[in-house]
Amino acid sequence: REALQELVAWSQTAELSLLEHEENGRYTPLIKEWKDLFLELGDKQSLLASLKESPFFRPFADQGATYEAKLGTLDACLHTMNSIQRKWVYLEPIFGRGALPGE
C-alpha cells in the first residue's frame, strides 16, 4: 500500500526540467535531463511490476492496472518527444539559414 501511495504522490508532483534554447533570436523550451527522467520512470514501472507480484496486491489491482497503462503511455510519449527534440535541435539551424531549395 505504501509503494502504491509513493507512485500516486510521484504522479502528482513530477515535473519536467526545461531549458530555454535560443536560435536566431527565437526561444524554444526544451526538456533537459532526459536520462534522469527515463531512469525515474523506469524505477516507477519496476516498482509497479514488483507490486503486481505481491499476494497482497489483489485489492489494488484496478488502481495498479490504471497506473500501468498511464506509465506505459507516458514512456512512449516521452521517447517520441525525445526523438523529436533531438531532430529539432539538429535541423533548426539548417532551416533557419534558408537551406531549403527555393528560398
| pLDDT tens digits, 42-95 | 999 999 999 888 888 888 889 889 999 999 999 999 999 999 999 998 988 887
Segment 29-54 mean pLDDT: 92
Residue written as grid cell 539538429: 90
- Does residue 103 surpass a pLDDT of 60? no
Give the model's pLDDT for residue 80. Answer: 97
Confidence of residue 33 (pLDDT cuts 50, 70, 90): very high
- The pTM of the full predicted model, rounded to 2 decimals, is 0.82
Give the model's pLDDT for residue 79. Answer: 97
Three-state DSSP class for 14? coil
Three-state DSSP class for 26? strand
Give the model's pLDDT for residue 100. Answer: 66
Cα–Cα distance measured from residue 21 to residue 38, given in angstroms and rounded to the nearest whole number: 21
